[in-house]
Structure 1
Amino acid sequence: MVETEELAKNKQYKTVKLVGGYVEILDLDKIIGCCHNKIHYGAVTKNIIKTHECLLKKCRYFEKYEDSPYWSRVMQSLEAKALQKERKKNIAANEVARKAKILNECEQIKQKAKYFANQNTFSIIITRVIPSPIKMDLNT
């Protein structure tokens, strides 16, 4: 196990005072911001930001370290969620369009059947045409 002193000498690690008053040696990538509140001034980590709810409260004392890899991961996650939401929206819109197309085709078939029945003096009344529950190729 690496000694604490050796850890602190490493340029990737830093001894910092955290918001809770604790002093720890942390990887610089884990420090994602700083709280400038006089009551609990200190470095902020991912766990601290969640427990203090800094972002939800839109705390004016919180300073976000933009160069921290945490924020780029957060942005990637948000972009992925937005992309997934857009995909779901497109799928739903395509499904609505597909159903409208099927209903339109059924209406056209109904009109043709009515015309055929009237032309041949069949004694039937065609009220509706419904799509078959069996999938069929609509392009033919």
Structure 2
Amino acid sequence: MTDADRIKVALATIDEALATHVVYEYRMMKHSVVVLAREAPESLVHILALEAFLLHYRNLLHFLKPPGRVESTDLLARRYIGKDVAVSEEHRKGLHRWLAHLTTDRLAVFDGYRKKWPVWEMVCLLEEAWSNFVEQL
């Protein structure tokens, strides 16, 4: 059974619709990494996969440990395990600014179509936090 399957089973005991939503984010992040690995970096498909990876990565970071104020409708890990999950904060701020805003900050790192994100490092960091979450279910 994969981590995604274990999470869906565990969370479904609380709320199946919410479990499906969380697992969707995880699977989409993982699928985008597969596309990134097989597509040429300058291809449009690679660029689209990178944007998808960053979006789902950010959503999972927020689920595991929100950065501050949360809305009552936010789906959070603490709802299931009673606490936030430790995550690496290294990329959070830049990630949010990159995805949510058109800013001059982006100009300094924009190489014509995308910032050079350390995707593999980010995946390893998130997988560690994700595994910690799964173990506590």
**Shorter-chain TM-score: which interval?**
under 0.3
Structure with a larger share of its residues in helix: 2
Structure with a larger share of its residues in strand: 1
Q: If the length of structure 2 is used for normalisation, what is the TM-score?
A: 0.23
